[in-house]
Amino acid sequence: MSVHYGSFKEMYSVMRKGAAPYEIKKAKKNSKGVKFKLIDAVKEPKGFNLPVKNERGQTVYRFVTLEPGALYKVPDDTFLEALLARGLSEIRHSDSFEKALKEANIPYEIKVCKSCGGGLKKIKVQIIEVIE
């Protein structure tokens, strides 16, 4: 028996018995403060497990999904540090993704799998762009 969900939020809610996934606030383009977004070459949503402050001021880890093209506010410094550390991703190599990175002048590195003799290539790139 397979179950199909209409969205990630619906699946998360069912699995966590009504809990909603953590949502970070989207920022307006002309708002003040530090903002961030996914680089333009990334075309699908990306998820990260990041530290956030709860109502009591304690740091807890929450799963955060970032949409391509959306601009987000930085809640605090620990969140930004963790986001930048986890934002350095290794994505399976594709010619179209590499071309998009070259066109946008985004630095990247191609890594080859040593155990399989270079048959598998990955692109190591920082997919988070910080905007001040």
Domain total of the chain: 1
Q: What percentage of the chain exceeds 70 in pLDDT? A: 78
Q: Residue 54: is its pLDDT beyond 90? A: no
pLDDT of residue 28: 66
Tokens 């001040």 belong to which residue?
132
Q: What is the Cα–Cα distance from 100 to 39, expressed in whole angstroms?
A: 10
Note the pLDDT tens digit of each residue in 89-103: 888 899 999 999 999
Name the more confident of 21 and 101.
101
- Judge whether 93 lies within some domain: yes
- Judge whether 73 lies within some domain: yes
Q: What is the Cα–Cα distance from 96 to 13, expressed in whole angstroms?
A: 35
Taking phi over 0 as left and psi of -120 to 50 as alpha, with beta for the rest, 72 belongs to beta
Q: What angle do CA 48, 75, 73 make, to 5 degrees?
A: 85
- Judge whether 33 lies within some domain: yes
